Amino acid sequence: MHLNKCLLFSDCLFFRQAELVTYGQLQSLVNRISNTLKSSGVKKGDRVALYIPNTPVAVACMLACARIGAIHTVVFAGFSADALAGRIQVSNHSHFVPN
């Protein structure tokens, strides 16, 4: 496997920083996040709302939910608090992952 090959490149103009993520780093991050989600009670078939910016961590959170078998919805930061609450209530999410 190519654990040291670059998989994701994230460039943040706001903070003027760039981030390279390798296959191995992503695999490690997905494992840590999925273990954290499982220890928080997330299980197969649960609905998880991810309120997280569009970063490599967001990709890892989505993959971690898929690894568990949980259904995820990504809500990006453009929503107001009321709009976010409405989406979570309507979709009946059992877990919420904030930034």
CATH number of this structure's domain 6-97: 3.40.50.980
* 15-55 pLDDT tens trace: 666 777 888 888 999 999 999 999 999 999 999 988 888 78
* 64-79 pLDDT tens trace: 999 999 999 888 767 7
| Annotated domain spans of the chain | 6-97
pTM of the entire predicted model: 0.78
Give dist(CA 56, CA 9) in Å, integer. 8
Nearest to 37 by CA among 27, 48, 28: 48
Crossing angle for the helix pair 56-68 and 23-39, to the nearest 10 degrees: 60
